């Protein structure tokens, strides 16, 4: 038999975004603020990241686990309730979540619900890499948990698939565990090299080999050359996707680029009273970025609690290839914070444009290199030219003026 309870704000996910939001809301007197986390410890992905850099320029030595503990302690000190080992399994109403935990089943109704469910790496099966199913095939998260939480043996020769910031952390973790990293592999023409590790660019893993334990990965270069890298461990890094199951079950409109809930600049979804923040919106960004989004969402959540009406959904904000996604991606109101924009390929000093119904709203050349592993921040001033009753607004980018692709 389930137990029914009522809270003011229910936050699903105790990662950097959810904890920062809960801290800000509880400090502002938002009432009963409750955070649910399905894992046994709060803190999200940083719990498994034992490298420094989580304290920014002030505390560059701060590791992920220390950052996670501080964030959880700040939320509880502010007066929020953080419950771990509790899974939100579905919806019993627009603002009512069904949950399960060792204590049993519950239905929790809130005046505002915030999805801070984070992102996950797509496993080998989702990347459609053929071959056998041997042991020794991991994602970065699985690698970090195996080494740092369980002290497991992860092999002696490893290949890392991906050449981005998280890939460097995977290399560091493998070396700490005593494995030799024989290569990093990326399908992109450029990648972030790690000293002492060969970098194979424009190269794709086409098959996993081995019975029982991985014995090697077959690769193919863009020019047609093929080969096999002998290894007993392969780590697939990056390729993050928002953990969006709850959002889909609620019938929330999803953005085709981010593959997460579509939101406006105030983190409002298409369902009145439901917000979404952090990496649940766009795949992985730094913990500091996710936490900043969580903190920024406090004001619109408080506005909701004050009884303000839920506005009509504005036009969607779409992107054209080679851009992958933009967030926020609905233009309900004027964007008051920078837009995060991600490209699918390396761009050098690109020209960015925004257009609506055949009308150019904005055009600017950025004298910077846009890397697929980093988001570009766009100032939002041009959004005041958007016709709120018009069609989609489309962002494009090219190193060659005049290039055109289909919207994504």
Which pLDDT band holds residue 271 (cuts at 50, 70, 90)?
very high
Between CA 87 and CA 222 the distance in angstroms is 44
Q: How open is the CA angle 169-342-277, to the nearest 5 degrees?
A: 80
- Give per-residue pLDDT as tens, 165-223: 778 888 989 998 999 999 999 988 877 788 999 999 999 999 999 988 999 999 999 99
- Give per-residue pLDDT as tens, 365-395: 998 888 887 889 999 889 999 998 999 999 9
- Give per-residue pLDDT as tens, 96-141: 999 999 989 999 999 999 999 998 876 655 455 766 678 899 888 8
Is pLDDT above 90 for 273? yes
What is the model's pLDDT at position 126?
A: 45
What is the model's pLDDT at position 190?
A: 78
What is the model's pLDDT at position 319?
A: 96
Where is average pLDDT lowest: 122-126, 143-147, 250-254, 335-339?
A: 122-126
- Per the DSSP assignment, residues forming a β-bridge with 113 are 10, 274
Its pTM stands at 0.85
Task: Label the pairing between strands 323-327 and 339-343.
Answer: antiparallel
Residue 287 makes CB contacts below 8 A (sequence gap 6+) with 15, 16, 44, 45, 46, 54, 64, 67
What is the model's pLDDT at position 247?
A: 96
Is pLDDT above 80 for 239? no
* DSSP secondary structure of 71-134: HHHHHHHHT-EEEES-EEEEEEETTEEEEEETTEEEEEEEEEEEE---EEEPPGGGGT--B---
- Give per-residue pLDDT as tens, 1-51: 568 999 999 999 999 999 999 999 999 999 999 999 999 999 988 887 777
Which pLDDT band holds residue 405 (cuts at 50, 70, 90)?
very low
What is the model's pLDDT at position 124?
A: 54
Instruction: Using CB atoms within 10 Å of the CB of residue 98, give its burial: 0 to 12 exposed, 13 to 18 middle, 19+ buried.
Output: middle
Between CA 177 and CA 154 the distance in angstroms is 7
What are φ and ψ of residue 396, in 5° steps?
Answer: -130, 160
Is pLDDT above 60 for 401? no
Is pLDDT above 90 for 276? yes
Residue 130 makes CB contacts below 8 A (sequence gap 6+) with 206, 207, 208
Q: CA neighbours within 13 Å on the CB side: how many for 166? A: 29
Between CA 18 and CA 339 the distance in angstroms is 20
């Amino acid at each position: 038999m389930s137990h029914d309870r009522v809270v003011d704000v229910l936050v699903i996910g105790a990662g950097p975004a959810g904890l920062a939001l809960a801290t800000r809301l509880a400090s502002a007197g938002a009432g009963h603020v409750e955070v649910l986390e399905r894992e046994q410890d709060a803190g999200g992905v940083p719990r498994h990241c034992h490298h420094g850099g989580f304290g920014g320029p002030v505390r560059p030595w701060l590791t992920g686990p220390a950052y996670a503990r501080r964030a959880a302690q700040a939320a509880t000190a502010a007066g929020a309730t953080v419950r771990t080992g509790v899974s939100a399994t579905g919806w019993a109403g627009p603002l009512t979540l069904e949950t399960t935990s060792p204590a049993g089943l519950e239905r929790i109704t809130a005046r505002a619900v915030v999805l801070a469910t984070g992102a996950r790496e797509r496993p080998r099966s989702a990347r459609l890499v053929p071959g056998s199913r041997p042991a020794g095939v991991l994602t970065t998260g699985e690698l970090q948990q195996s080494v740092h939480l369980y002290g497991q043996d992860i092999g002696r020769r490893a290949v890392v698939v991906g050449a981005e910031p998280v890939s460097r952390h995977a290399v560091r973790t493998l070396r700490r565990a005593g494995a030799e990293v024989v290569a990093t592999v990326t399908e992109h023409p450029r990648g972030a090299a790690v000293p002492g590790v060969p970098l194979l660019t424009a190269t794709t893993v086409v098959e996993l080999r081995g019975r029982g334990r991985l014995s090697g990965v077959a690769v193919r270069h863009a020019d047609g050359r093929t080969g096999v890298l002998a290894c007993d461990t392969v780590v697939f890094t990056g390729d993050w996707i928002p953990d969006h199951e709850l959002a889909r079950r609620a019938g929330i409109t999803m953005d085709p680029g981010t593959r997460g809930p579509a939101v406006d600049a105030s983190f409002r979804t298409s369902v009145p009273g439901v917000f979404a923040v952090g990496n649940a919106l766009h795949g992985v960004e730094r913990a500091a970025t996710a936490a900043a989004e969580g903190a920024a969402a406090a004001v619109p959540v408080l506005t909701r609690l004050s009884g303000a009406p839920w506005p009509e959904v504005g036009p969607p904000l779409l992107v054209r290839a080679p851009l992958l996604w933009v967030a926020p991606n609905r233009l309900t109101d004027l964007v008051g914070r920078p837009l995060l924009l991600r490209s699918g390929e390396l761009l050098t000093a690109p020209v960015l444009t925004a257009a609506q119904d055949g009308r150019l709203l904005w055009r600017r050349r950025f004298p910077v290199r846009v890397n697929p592993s980093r988001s570009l921040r766009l100032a939002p001033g041009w959004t005041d030219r958007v016709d709120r009753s018009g069609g989609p607004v489309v962002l494009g980018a090219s190193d060659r003026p005049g290039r055109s692709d289909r919207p994504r």
